[in-house]
Amino acid sequence: EADIYQTPRYLVIGTGKKITLECSQTMGHDKMYWYQQDPGMELHLIHYSYGVNSTEKGDLSSESTVSRIRTEHFPLTLESARPSHTSQYLCASSTKMNTEAFFGQGTRLTVV
Amino acid sequence: AQSVSQHNHHVILSEAASLELGCNYSYGGTVNLFWYVQYPGQHLQLLLKYFSGDPLVKGIKGFEAEFIKSKFSFNLRKPSVQWSDTAEYFCAVNGFNAGNMLTFGGGTRLMVKP
């Protein structure tokens, strides 16, 4: 079944640690996105990709980085986690022609 | 640049009341418009979408939205809400140009009292 997967669902990590949030989609979508969402707040686009080897920064400044080596995979990395990174991170994908975006379940990150 | 504005941050209704959530966008070109819903503890799901054609679009669970181009609006409506409609609702816009990315409004938190 075509879907979009994020792991882990929940993560509690200490300050200064390096973490990678995984996102994979099986729909063959060209575009992929990372959004940051604090509880009850709006979604902020932090990274996006048009396709393989394409990565762009979004509207919200983020200390994270992304890579897109394969179409289906769009991991997000924080080199040194800080408490200010505590948030929910949502991954999404869509076709090249901007049809609807499909969202993963999200990763709720807490940095202590 | 494109932006989306949702006017109501919190809405509280009783069951069977009618619902209308406002959404305005700014973008000079052709747009694709969406309403997403996020139920408590769940991921974002598509409620409905408008690409072209009839400006009144119907989505799942009895929701509908009307695209009014002259007002740059895409308001969400439901004639009679249920307790299970309690959720957060996000309006989103995507410029037709393939270079555009999906931009979300700030969201409206709807609480329906039984």
- pLDDT band per the 50, 70, 90 thresholds, residue B96: low
Q: How many domains does chain A have?
A: 1
Report the gap between the CA of A101 and the closest CA in chain B (Å). 8
Average pLDDT over residues B31-42: 90
Is a pLDDT exceeding 80 seen at residue A71?
A: yes
pLDDT digits (tens, 9 = 90+) for B41-75: 888 999 999 988 999 999 999 999 999 999 999 99
Whether residue B43 lies within 8 A of chain A, CB to CB, comes out as yes
pLDDT digits (tens, 9 = 90+) for A6-19: 999 999 999 999 99
> What residues contact B54, with CB distance under 8 A and at least 6 apart?
none
> Which class does domain B3-113 fall in?
mainly beta
Q: List, as ranges, residues 7-66 from A with C-beta within 8 Å of B.
A: 31, 33, 35, 40-43, 45, 48, 50, 58-59
**What's residue A2's pLDDT?**
57
Whether residue B60 lies within 8 A of chain A, CB to CB, comes out as no
Q: Which of A42, A56, A60, A89 to mutate to test the interface with B (most CBs of B within 10 A)?
A: A42
Dihedral angle, C-alpha A89, B27, B88, B9, nearest 10 °? 110
Whether residue A104 lies within 8 A of chain B, CB to CB, comes out as yes
**What's residue B46's pLDDT?**
92
Distance CA B41, CA B107 (A): 16
Quote the domain boundaries for residue A72: 4-111
pLDDT digits (tens, 9 = 90+) for A17-32: 999 999 999 999 999 9
At A49, which CATH number?
Answer: 2.60.40.10
Tell me phi and psi for residue B83, to 5 degrees.
-55, -35
Comparing B26-30, B50-54, B77-81, which segment has the lowest mean pLDDT? B26-30
Contact A105 B107 (CB under 8 A): no
| Burial tier of B36 (Cβ tally within 10 Å: 0-12, 13-18, 19+) | buried
Whether residue B88 lies within 8 A of chain A, CB to CB, comes out as yes
